[in-house]
Amino acid sequence: MKINKAFQFRIYPNNMQKQFLAQSFGCARFVYNHFLRQRIDYYAENSKGLTYYNNALALTQLKKEPGFEWLNDMNSQSLQQAVRNLDTAYSNFFNKKAKFPNFKKKSGKQSFNVPQHFNIKDNMLDIPKCKGIKIKLHRAIEGTMKSITISKTASGKYFASVLVGTEISDPIYSGGEIGIDYGIKAFVTTSDGEIIGSPNYLRKSELKLKKLSKSFSKKQPSAKNRYKAQKLLARQHEKVSNQRQDFLHKLSKQLTCDNQAIYVESLAISNMIKLHTLAKSLSDSGWSMFVNMLQYKGNWYGCKIIKIDRWFPSSKRCHVCGYINENLTLKDRNWLCPECNTDHDRDVNAAINILIFGRAGIART
């Protein structure tokens, strides 16, 4: 089976290379924002949109116009890729996979894509117009390299993400089947009764983030110390994000390797976050990211991920006799079924119901 896989490595450019990369980030950001503005204005005036080919032709003309010659200092394919990324963002919006594209900011994460003519050899990375960037290859690159994305985080670190095409053996579906229920205190509860607690990385770093944020806000806009404070704040946010992703990667791999089918709820996370009492805990949990990891790792390791309808009353239904407890509230963590006298743990009961109805093919999305 053919799959695409990404390998991310830390790179260490020197001062001259940093200057070139900064210029490349700026060119890619300018092209993306320029044609996003052009698309918005064109639609407002003509009630129809522009395509990738319209923007690609306009980019060629833009590079010839007086005052925009500096765009020629960057790899032309990377500029074309910025236009293609904008077209992909529009497609995701119209397919209801993402929100409307935003303008890119200089203060955020910076990146540009190199689709061809790059090379990695002897811990050195060569890209068009910039050779010999030191790269830390902490693991072997498996597969055929297809493209590379150079990025800079808000904390000032540089990375190269290599997209490769590789062959893996067809997955063998073996193991058990489980249902999974999401929670706040417990990150997930399985139908086997296993409770995996929520690590709450954001809440554990909340006081430090608050202190760093307060220090940053007090600095004058033009002061050098403001940049230092911003960098410290970005590093702490990056640490929280890395901790969360590490936890989700390890858990998703464990579950997909141990089971041949996992039944999960299809929750509307974006709507749930609107509840201010739960917003911070929901954002800290990373449920959407976790489900995405389950799906692509399930394809790799032989595990089917099946979603259950969000309106299915998994928590309120007794998995033994089928009684529906209409009076169950969010604060009720245990409840006794009046029909069969079964004492239920709310989350375990929900996970068992998800497994039962998932196997039966009922309430699937």
Q: Which of 126, 167, 181, 192 is catalytic?
A: 181
**Residue 21 and residue 218: Cα distance in Å, rounded?**
30
Run of H or E including 298: helix 287-301
Q: Which of 45, 206, 265, 332 is catalytic?
A: 265
Active site residue 265: yes
CA angle 206, 209, 214 (to 5 degrees): 125
Task: Classify residue 164 by burial, with Cβ atoms within 10 Å: 0-12, 13-18, 19+.
Answer: middle
Active site residue 177: no
Run of H or E including 208: helix 206-218
**Residue 177 and residue 158: Cα distance in Å, rounded?**
41
**Other residues' Cβ atoms within 10 Å of the Cβ of residue 72:** 12
Tokens read off for 237: 């946010």
Q: Which of 69, 122, 309, 347 is catalytic?
A: 347
Active site residue 170: no
**Residue 196 and residue 188: Cα distance in Å, rounded?**
5
Q: Residue 169 gets which letter from DSSP?
A: P
Nearest alpha-carbon partner for 83 in 48, 45, 113: 113
Report, as residue numbers or ranges, the catalytic residues.
181, 265, 347
